[in-house]
Amino acid sequence: MSLRLGCIADDYTGASDLANTLTRNGLRTVQTIGVPAAGLPLADVDAVVVSLKSRSIAAADAVASSRAAARWLRGQGAAHVMFKICSTFDSTDAGNIGPVTLALQADGGVESLLVTPAFPETGRTVYQGHLFVNGVPLNESPLKDHPLNPMRDSNLVRVLQRQCGDAQIGLIDAEVVARGPAAILTRQRELAQQHRGIAIIDAIRESDLLAIGAAAIGQKLSVGASGLGLGLARALAVNSVAKPSDAGAPVGGLAACLVGSCSKATLEQIDAAAQFLPVLRLRTENIMDNSAEIEDALEWAAARLATAPVLIASSGSTEEVASLQERYGRERAGHAIEQAMAAIAAGLVARGVRRLVVGGGETSGAVINRLGISAFQLGPEIAPGVPVLRSLGGKDAGMLLALKSGNFGGQDFFMRALAMMH
């Protein structure tokens, strides 16, 4: 069977967020880690979300892996490919949203395409090309202090323009969107004639996303967050309802949470969890100094896991993050901590953990890569954008996981996740 929708996500939490939205809107969806090896059963699947860890790597590498994923998806019959980016447009002036979009546009021979990170269900809206996070302009939101991609400009036309060299970026505003898909397509054609083949498009509410999805689905490529996925899924799955899956069925075994996100929301969630769970806060200086922090953490966990789930976090305040980065450099600090979290994850699984909640996109990427998981089936939703996942294939098949975007979930997220993962 041909895929109805192919998606490429630039990180793993983002991929599970999108796969969750597609599933909830009627598409039978599988999340793969990278381009899957031959043999993944796709007979009963409408959509595949290929997860890449390409958000914060060199632009040339992000382009190469995204191109390979698009080729594979088109080879499976996907007429439309969506490039899933973060709803807070996480990127730098060096990329990677612009370079990847330009490459996919060129490969697909795409004259015109729509870009929107809007996801109103989680408070992300775009108006006059400016991105708001829970009503606050992006550059005033907590994203201004992200450890890897601090977002200091809410004007997405400007942000994307800086990543796209000579290609001119257009804007389709809320007034056009409110007039529906035909008006959007007309405006896209006008912009394309002015050599603006890439357009940021406003979206404030779900009805906007439906109009955008209906306009975009007839084209070969679109770029956005889960809100765009909702629009595309609804345009495709008008009459179908995906059957409930048994992906969330109990697996038993021990449970743990591993957290590397330093977002404001996650810091609050860790504090809330500490009232109910043993929480270990890693000494990040020790991780950088190659000391025995990983072994110590595993020993600490082993002494507690049999009686209760544990939570291990590297997360620090904006000041703590800044001080570590000053000493070791942003990338080196981020990478070393991610690798430490991955090693702890492997150690926890070796000690019998079968239910694992991971906080943070890059952190999730490092953990899932280390565990060697190749694909996920979608289970029930824990919070908007965060589903329960069941691992498929490989030695760690049949684990339950949740990959939480740093900014998603309510204060009780970790307790809620553990209560849904048996």
Ligand X SMILES: Nc1ncnc2c1ncn2[C@@H]1O[C@H](COP(=O)(O)OP(=O)(O)O)[C@@H](O)[C@H]1O
Query: Binding residues for ligand X, per CB under 6 A?
Result: 147-148, 260-263, 284, 314-316, 320-321, 324-325, 333-334, 337-338, 360-363, 405-406
Q: What b-and-e string marks burial along 402-419, b requiring 16 or more CB atoms within 10 Å of the CB?
A: bbbbbbbbeeebbbbbbe
Which residue lies nearer to ligand LB5GJZVW by CB, 51 or 188? 51
Q: How far is the CB of 1 from ligand LB5GJZVW (least distance, A)?
A: 27
Helix 361-371, helix 330-350: angle, nearest 10: 50
Residue 70 tokens, joined? 């698009």
How far, in Å, CA of 218 to CA of 236, rounded? Answer: 10
Q: How far is the CB of 17 from ligand LB5GJZVW (least distance, A)?
A: 3
Residue 187 tokens, joined? 């405006």
Determine the size of the site formed for ligand LB5GJZVW (CB under 6 A): 15
Site string for ligand LB5GJZVW, 144-183 (x = CB under 6 A): ----------------------------------------
Told to check if 202 binds ligand LB5GJZVW by CB under 6 A, we report: no
In sequence order, what are the residues at sequence separation of 6 or more whose Cβ sits closer than 8 angstroms to the Cβ of residue 5? 22, 27, 46, 47, 78, 80, 82, 232, 233, 236
- Is residue 155 a contact partner of residue 129, using CB atoms and an 8 Å limit? yes
Told to check if 225 binds ligand LB5GJZVW by CB under 6 A, we report: yes
Q: State the binding partner of 385 from ligand LB5GJZVW, ligand X, none, CB within 5 to 8 A by kind.
A: ligand LB5GJZVW
Q: What is the DSSP code string of 95-141? A: BSHHHHHHHHHHHHT-S-EEEE--BGGGTEEEETTEEEETTEEGGGS
Told to check if 338 binds ligand LB5GJZVW by CB under 6 A, we report: no
Q: How far is the CB of 257 from ligand LB5GJZVW (least distance, A)?
A: 15
Which residue lies nearer to ligand X by CB, 248 or 260? 260
**Which residue in 321, 406, 414, 420 binds ligand LB5GJZVW (CB under 6 A)?**
406
**Greatest distance between any 2 Cα atoms in the chain:** 66
Q: How far is the CB of 47 from ligand X (least distance, A)?
A: 23
Burial class (CB in 10 A: 0-12, 13-18, 19+), 318: middle
Q: State the binding partner of 17 from ligand LB5GJZVW, ligand X, none, CB within 5 to 8 A by kind.
A: ligand LB5GJZVW
